[in-house]
Amino acid sequence: MKYLVIGLVLIFIALYLVMLYSLLIMSARSDEVMRQLMEKEWMEKNEAEKVNGFISEKE
Protein backbone atom coordinates (compact mmCIF):
# COMPACT_ATOMS: atom_id res chain seq x y z
CA MET A 1 0.00 0.00 0.00
CA LYS A 2 2.81 2.37 0.94
CA TYR A 3 4.56 1.80 -2.39
CA LEU A 4 1.33 2.36 -4.29
CA VAL A 5 0.92 5.81 -2.69
CA ILE A 6 4.57 6.70 -3.38
CA GLY A 7 4.16 5.57 -7.00
CA LEU A 8 1.00 7.64 -7.48
CA VAL A 9 2.66 10.73 -5.98
CA LEU A 10 5.66 10.31 -8.29
CA ILE A 11 3.37 9.91 -11.32
CA PHE A 12 1.48 13.10 -10.42
CA ILE A 13 4.74 15.01 -9.93
CA ALA A 14 5.96 13.79 -13.33
CA LEU A 15 2.68 14.85 -15.00
CA TYR A 16 2.90 18.26 -13.33
CA LEU A 17 6.45 18.77 -14.58
CA VAL A 18 5.46 17.75 -18.12
CA MET A 19 2.59 20.26 -18.05
CA LEU A 20 4.89 23.03 -16.83
CA TYR A 21 7.42 22.21 -19.54
CA SER A 22 4.79 22.24 -22.29
CA LEU A 23 3.45 25.58 -21.02
CA LEU A 24 6.96 27.04 -21.12
CA ILE A 25 7.44 25.82 -24.70
CA MET A 26 4.07 27.25 -25.77
CA SER A 27 4.78 30.64 -24.19
CA ALA A 28 8.22 30.75 -25.80
CA ARG A 29 6.65 29.98 -29.18
CA SER A 30 4.00 32.66 -28.76
CA ASP A 31 6.72 35.17 -27.80
CA GLU A 32 8.63 34.24 -30.95
CA VAL A 33 5.50 34.59 -33.10
CA MET A 34 4.72 37.99 -31.54
CA ARG A 35 8.29 39.14 -32.16
CA GLN A 36 8.10 38.06 -35.80
CA LEU A 37 4.78 39.87 -36.25
CA MET A 38 6.19 43.06 -34.72
CA GLU A 39 9.26 42.79 -36.95
CA LYS A 40 7.09 42.31 -40.05
CA GLU A 41 4.91 45.29 -39.07
CA TRP A 42 8.00 47.44 -38.52
CA MET A 43 9.46 46.42 -41.89
CA GLU A 44 6.19 47.23 -43.68
CA LYS A 45 6.03 50.60 -41.93
CA ASN A 46 9.62 51.35 -42.98
CA GLU A 47 8.86 50.38 -46.58
CA ALA A 48 5.79 52.64 -46.59
CA GLU A 49 7.84 55.54 -45.22
CA LYS A 50 10.54 54.98 -47.86
CA VAL A 51 7.93 54.95 -50.64
CA ASN A 52 6.26 58.08 -49.26
CA GLY A 53 9.63 59.81 -48.96
CA PHE A 54 10.49 58.84 -52.53
CA ILE A 55 7.16 60.14 -53.84
CA SER A 56 7.49 63.46 -51.99
CA GLU A 57 11.07 63.87 -53.28
CA LYS A 58 9.84 63.41 -56.87
CA GLU A 59 7.32 66.21 -56.48
- Bigger pLDDT: 57 vs 20: 20
Task: Give mean pLDDT, residues 8-25.
Answer: 95
Q: 6 pLDDT exceeds 90? A: yes
What is the C-alpha to C-alpha distance for residues 20 and 30, in angstroms, rounded to an integer? 15
∠ Cα 16 20 21 (to 5°) = 115
Which pLDDT does position 13 carry in this prediction? 98
Task: Give mean pLDDT, residues 18-46.
Answer: 87
Q: 11 pLDDT exceeds 80? A: yes
Answer whether 0.75 is exceeded by the pTM.
no
